[in-house]
């Protein structure tokens, strides 16, 4: 009798240990499974290193290529395609059953100048631009349509200047075709993949002036039949701004024009800069315990807002895996994992934030 009790006890303890191990392997994606997918932007190192690969599979159920699927890296010259980096990320997703966000089809940055210039450097006319845009979009969207569930079709086409007479960024693409290049990009993406969700993606999207401009542009284009399914809120924030109220108001505003919102590039830096601009401070203040607490509280506040809107938010993606990978450099302390891929206080704060909501996903 005693022997059987001991065996039963040992089996029970083994089961508990297995369950504990299993639950310790659960991550952000499991905590938020009833709300939205949790994504991460990856580089080639993240999908080659065993520790980082395991962390990605444990924590996330959506992936974005940080750089490898952008116009310039994939087609540096007209008709010359470089698929290696994007293929490795797409194959990692296929092998691990992780959905892939396509980023991005048309952007004023990281785009080959050949797309919009003649050999003498002058701008092409819009017919030539559209031919080149269409060929590029069909090539990349067609190549990854089995694994890519949505695309950032156009990135950052709205100006940051609150006093601008015209709400659009004065990029070469805009100079050639006005806002029509935006409409054409969505048209070509829809032609290439009838099923993928198509997003307009931008930063400082919670700014009261810019969020109105984004919503108004999307509303007008949808009225003309442009196939825009969603708005990507990049979410490059800091520990001071934007307020949870502004983020809440922007989501509310966007939810009146689209059925799908993605937070596409979330990071929270410990200084007063924000947005996707490439010029930013790298010499952030020393990370004190109180700054670490404020950082964690800000992430919790943002996730409470996202949970409130989980009926329209499908996915929240972190821009980079750890502080070491961040485009902002680790001094800006922007993410949930530190330079050694260890959880920071903000990780636990994000997990706890979900407990404030019992609401089920739509
Ligand atoms: O690939 C070249 C390499 O060959 C060269 O040796 C090296 C040094 O010059 O540069 C490498 O290219 C860099 C590229 O990242 C890949 O690492 C570019 O210089 C660098 O500017 C580029 O930065 C990326 C930035 O977009 C470009 O605008 C960041 O990693 C990336 O995180 C950032 O992501 C953007 C989103 O796509 C859109 N929203 C804003 C966000 C932050 O700017």
Choose between 4 and 136: higher pLDDT.
136
CA 109 to centroid of ligand 1, rounded, Å: 9
Is 277's C-beta closer than 6 angstroms to any atom of ligand 1?
A: no
Q: What residue's CA is closest to ligand 1, atom 22?
A: 67
Is the pLDDT assigned to residue 156 strictly greater than 70? yes
CA 265 to centroid of ligand 1, rounded, Å: 14
Cα→Cα distances 73→35, 83, 202, 360, Å: 34, 8, 20, 40
- Give the pLDDT mean for 107-131: 98
Is 347's C-beta closer than 6 angstroms to any atom of ligand 1?
A: no
- Can you read off the two tokens belonging to residue 181? 């290049």
Is the pLDDT assigned to residue 362 strictly greater than 60? no
Is the pLDDT assigned to residue 328 strictly greater than 90? yes
User: CA-CA distance, 201 to 107, in Å (whole number)?
Assistant: 10
Compute the radius of gyration of the chain from its Cα atoms: 22
pLDDT at site 118: 98
Q: What is the pLDDT of residues 55-101, one digit of tens each?
A: 999 999 999 999 999 999 999 999 999 999 999 999 999 999 999 99
Is the pLDDT assigned to residue 160 strictly greater than 60? yes
Give the predicted TM-score (pTM) of the model: 0.92
Contact partners, residue 215, CB within 8 Å, separation at least 6: 231, 253, 254, 256, 257
Catalytic residue check, 180? no
Q: What residue's CA is closest to ligand 1, atom 14?
A: 67
Q: Exactly one of 59, 66, 156, 187 is catalytic; which is it?
A: 156
pLDDT at site 16: 60
Q: Are 233 and 267 in contact (CB under 8 A)?
A: no
pLDDT at site 238: 95
- pLDDT class for 43, splitting at 50, 70, 90? very high
Q: Are 179 and 172 in contact (CB under 8 A)?
A: no
Q: What is the pLDDT of residues 261-278, one digit of tens each?
A: 999 999 999 987 677 766
pLDDT at site 15: 61
User: CA-CA distance, 343 to 31, in Å (whole number)?
Assistant: 15
Out of 98-107, 313-322, 324-333, 342-351, which region has the weakest mean confidence (pLDDT)?
A: 324-333
Is 109's C-beta closer than 6 angstroms to any atom of ligand 1?
A: yes
């Amino acid at each position: 009798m005693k022997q059987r009790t001991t065996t039963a006890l040992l089996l029970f303890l083994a089961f508990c240990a297995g369950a504990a191990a299993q639950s310790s392997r659960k991550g952000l994606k499991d905590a938020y499974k009833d709300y939205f997918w949790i994504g991460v932007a990856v580089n080639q190192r993240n999908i080659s290193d065993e520790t980082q690969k395991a962390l990605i599979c444990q924590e996330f159920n959506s992936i974005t290529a940080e750089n490898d699927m952008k116009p310039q890296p994939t087609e540096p010259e007209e008709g010359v395609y470089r698929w290696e980096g994007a293929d490795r990320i797409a194959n990692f997703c296929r092998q691990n059953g992780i959905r892939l966000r396509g980023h991005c089809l048309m952007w004023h940055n990281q785009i080959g100048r050949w797309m919009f210039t003649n050999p003498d450097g002058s701008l092409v006319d819009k017919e030539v631009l559209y031919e080149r845009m269409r060929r590029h979009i069909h090539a990349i969207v067609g190549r990854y349509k089995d694994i890519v569930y949505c695309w950032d079709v156009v990135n950052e086409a709205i100006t940051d200047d609150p006093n601008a007479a015209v709400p659009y960024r004065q990029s070469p693409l805009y100079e050639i075709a006005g806002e029509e290049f935006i409409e054409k990009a969505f048209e070509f993406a829809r032609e290439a993949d009838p099923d993928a969700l198509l997003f307009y993606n931008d930063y400082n999207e919670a700014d009261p002036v810019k969020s109105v401009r984004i919503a108004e542009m999307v509303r007008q284009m949808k009225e003309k039949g442009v196939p825009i399914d969603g708005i990507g809120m990049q979410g490059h924030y800091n520990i001071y701004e934007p307020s949870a109220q502004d983020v809440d108001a922007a989501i509310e505003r966007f939810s009146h024009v689209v059925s799908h919102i993605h937070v596409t590039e979330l990071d929270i830096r410990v200084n007063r800069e924000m947005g996707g601009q490439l010029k930013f401070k790298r010499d952030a203040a020393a990370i004190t315990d109180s700054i670490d607490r404020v950082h964690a509280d800000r992430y919790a506040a943002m996730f409470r807002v996202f949970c409130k809107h989980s009926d329209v938010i499908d996915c929240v993606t972190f821009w980079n895996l750890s502080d070491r990978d961040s485009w902002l450099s680790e001094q800006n302390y922007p993410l949930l994992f530190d330079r050694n891929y260890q959880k920071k206080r903000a990780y636990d704060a994000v997990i706890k934030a979900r407990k404030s909501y019992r609401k089920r996903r739509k």
